[in-house]
Structure 1
Amino acid sequence: MTKWGVVATGRIADVVTSDMALVPDAEVLAVSSRSTPKAEEFAGKHGIPRFYGDYHDMLADPDIEVVYVATPHSSHYVVARNALLAGKAVLCEKPITVGLKDAEKLVELARRQNLFLMEAMWTRFNPLVRLIRELVADGVIGAVRSVHADFGAPFEHDPAHRLWDPAAGGGSLLDLGVYPVSFAHMLLGAPKSVATQGTLIDGVDAEAALMLRYPNGAFAQLSSSLVGYYPIAATIVGTAGRIEIPPVFYRPTEFTVVRPGQDDEKHSLELTGHGYQYQIAEVNKRVQAGEIESPHMPLDETLAVMRTLAEALDKLGVSYP
């Protein structure tokens, strides 16, 4: 049984913690919040035996093996770093940090400490996404020539909200665009060039369009937005067919393989919970085996995704404090 501690009590912490109950060998032992009453309320809701009003106190708990960092983007680095220094394995929400340099420091620290670290890109562990990777690797649609993915939804403009606040790591790319960018990296690797277009509001990217180009001529067209109502779908185009993933592509319950001269091949999944349990099971498996990273979401790939995001943000003119 792997014993977890959860840092923060917001929406994402709530849904991920509820899915931890679906993993037989995962036990949520403790939760921390800046407010002790909130930590106590969260603990009562999820049946967590220990709660703390300061995450440092939770990190001092010797029984906790893995810390799940569910704080806002701007504090990912500090909390994850302190957890690693406390000797805990870490699953950190995406993006792993706001900037590339901090991500590099975290990875270096985890490797030096010989501790597990993974960005919580839960899409990678969805059974249908893993099947898609297998089909692509087996050449079912031929060589991949392009990837198209988007993630956008209209959010009320509120300068005080973290999505619109540069100090909180706001903007569409870090919050939503990380999904299509990571998806493209999963299929095509790191690009040779990144071209961008976008709109800034309050100093953050309200919308962003990325064109990633690869040495073999393949490309990825990706977009994210806080102002537009996007389908949140993805298509992988190959030389012998394509794979269509309907909304929402980051949490697929179905996809279709389309090939000329053949009947469409449909795949589906009856999803239990919210879909986070697959990444929790992966962390448990790797930690119990004494491994320090997941081959399905390796640290070098997390850094490569961060490089793409950092380059895109720089070209858009976004600068975080």
Structure 2
Amino acid sequence: MKTVRWGILGLGKIAHSFAKDLLTVPGNQLYAVASRTQEKATDFKTEYKAEKAYASYEELAADPDIDVVYIATPHVRHCEDSLLCMKNGKAVLCEKPFAMNAEEVEQMIASAKANDVLLMEALWTRIMPHFNFALEEINTGKYGKIEKITSDFCFDAEFNAEGRLWDKKLGGGALLDVGIYPIFCVLAFLGKPDTISAKAKMGKTDVDVEDDITFTYKNGVKAFIKSGIVTKTPTTATIICENGLIYLHPRFHNTDKVTTILEGVKTEHDFDYSAKGYNFEIMHMADLLREGKKESDMMTHNFSRLIINTLDDVRQKIGLEY
């Protein structure tokens, strides 16, 4: 089995979580890391046993020994940094949101095709076993039609006007950071809504701090979505159907516990994850690379298009402009 050599571009909190999981996946190596300062890159390299540390993103992108780059920079840089890596012939796993808007996403997909490289949005939940179990259960048809979905992701973040969550110049706010998860969840089960209604509370830095969103479908199905960065909610997802329901436990995006109720019979499912959950997308990307694939069959380009177009629609409705 060919060892897949990874680079990580941007070394914030999520990059640490990703690197820890990467070390648990056989056949994958953290080869190089890049930050805006040599000191930070060297410290990260030492902690996670990488071979190279770069003080510029351009140097990492140009390294001929890297197979795939994980983009973990702020939202506003996702497009620029992905394009840089793909132009240098690298496969790219770009953290969610894929980019700031649909126009940028189209640039990224076009670049992947032009440079004949693999590109996937790192919406890790789509690759995780508990979520795929829930999708497969619904697709059997035994639960009957979906009647309603509720999903939330709110946490109480410490205010920092210059921090990633709060700085508008960095793409801050609840919607792009955590609102994307319940939106993704609903889209995965129900597809594109026929109508969207949304309202938001804006914070001190003119970014959304609370969002209430409703998707309505022509068959009468509704989905209720809540996201926020100033209050805490259970962060669950419930898919209510004619013959039962599926409940994804707190922190539904990476939980290892799912409850199903079918025809009155309640069953608990424990997936007993041994790592945080990034390992699943790491394995998936590595498999795609070894198979010579240019697009994931799970997190497809069209699904990323649907997500970003939906986010753009919600932003327009709540008056959030970047």
- Whether these two folds match at TM > 0.5 is yes
| Corresponding residue to 1:67 among 69, 74, 78 | 69
Mapped partners of 1:111, 1:266: distance in 2: 43
2:304 to 283, 302, 305: 302
Task: Give, in angstroms, the shift of residue 271 of structure 1.
Answer: 1.1
Instruction: Please tell me whether residue 236 in structure 1 is matched to residue 226 in structure 2.
Output: no
Secondary structure, aligned partner of 2:165: helix
The whole-number CA distance in structure 2 between the counterparts of 1:22 and 1:205 is 36
How big is the shift at 1:216? 2.4
The one-letter code matched in structure 2 to 1:6 is I
Q: Which runs of 5+ in 2 are unaligned?
A: none
- Counterpart-to-counterpart distance in 1, 2:121 and 2:217: 24
Instruction: Give yes or no for contact 1:203–1:319 (8 Å, CA) kept in 2.
Output: no
2:213 to 206, 210, 213: 210
Question: 100-109 vs 154-163, which deviates more?
Answer: 154-163
- State the alpha-carbon separation in 2 of the partners of residues 263 and 239 from structure 1: 14
Residue deviations 1:22-41 (CA, integer Å, cap 9, x gap): 21111111001101111011
Aligned to 1:272: 274
Alignment correspondent of 2:283? 281
Higher deviation after alignment, 212-221 or 289-298: 212-221
How do 1:165-184 residues align onto structure 2 when only pairs under 5 Å count?
A: 165-184=167-186
* Counterparts of 1:216 and 1:288, CA distance in 2: 42
Mapped to 2, the partners of 1:9 and 1:244 lie a distance apart of 34
TM-score normalised by L of structure 1:
0.97
Distance 2:194 2:117 in 1: 31
SS at match of 1:161: coil
Q: Distance in 1 between matches of 2:4 and 2:134?
A: 29
Whole-angstrom CA distance in 1 between matches of 2:297 and 2:43: 36
Q: Which residue of 1 aligns with 2:32?
A: 30
User: Match for residue 225 of structure 1?
Assistant: 228
Per-residue deviation at 1:245? 1.4
Cα distance in structure 2, aligned partners of 1:190 and 1:26: 36
**CA offset at residue 132 of structure 1?**
0.9
Q: Output the CA distance in 1 between the equivalents of 2:217 and 2:297.
A: 23
Q: Give the residue type in structure 1 aligned to 2:219.
A: N
Letter matched to residue 245 of structure 1: L
TM-score w.r.t. the length of structure 2 is: 0.97
Q: Give the deviation of 1:263 after TM superposition.
A: 2.3
**CA distance in 2: counterparts of 1:12 and 1:245, whole angstroms:** 22
Q: CA deviation at 1:150?
A: 0.3
Give the AA of the match of 2:234: P
For this pair of structures, how many residues does the alignment match?
319
Residue in 2 aligned with 1:21? 23
State the distance in 1 between where 2:45 and 2:281 align. Answer: 22
Give the one of 134, 146, 154 matched to 1:152: 154
- Equivalent runs, 1:184-203 vs 2, <5 Å: 184-201=186-203, 202-203=205-206
d(CA) in 2 for partners of 1:47 and 1:30? 9
Matched with 1:10 is: 12
Q: Distance in 1 between matches of 2:83 and 2:124?
A: 21
Percent identical among aligned pairs is 32
Q: Which amino acid aligns with 1:60?
A: A
Q: 1:157-189: per-residue Cα shift (whole Å, max 9, x none)?
A: 222212111110000000000110111111111
Are 2:77 and 1:78 aligned? no
Aligned equivalents of 1:93, 1:156: Cα separation in 2:
22
SS of the counterpart of 1:162? Answer: coil
CA distance, structure 1, for counterparts of residue 162 and residue 142 of structure 2: 48
Counterpart amino acid of 2:262?
Answer: R
Match of 2:252 in 1: 249
Q: CA deviation at 1:156?
A: 2.3
- Of 127-136 and 170-179, more deviation after overlay is shown by 127-136
**Secondary structure of 1:210 counterpart:** strand
Give how far 1:151 is off. 0.2
**Deviation >4 Å, runs of 4+:** none
CA deviation string 1:112-153 (max 9, x = no partner): 222111111111111111111111110132111221110001
The gaps in structure 1 that reach 5 residues or longer are: none
Structure 1 residue 215, shift from structure 2 partner: 2.9
SS of the aligned residue for 2:172 comes to: coil
Q: Deviations over 1:8-60 (max 9, x none)?
A: 11110011011011211111110011011110110000010111111100111
Does the CA contact (< 8 Å) of 1:195 and 1:212 recur in 2? yes
Q: Aligned Cα RMSD in Å?
A: 1.1
2:41 aligned residue: 39
State the distance in 1 between where 2:91 and 2:163 align. 30
Q: Deviations over 1:257-280 (max 9, x none)?
A: 1134x3201111111121110000
Aligned counterparts of 1:293 and 1:52: Cα–Cα separation in 2: 28
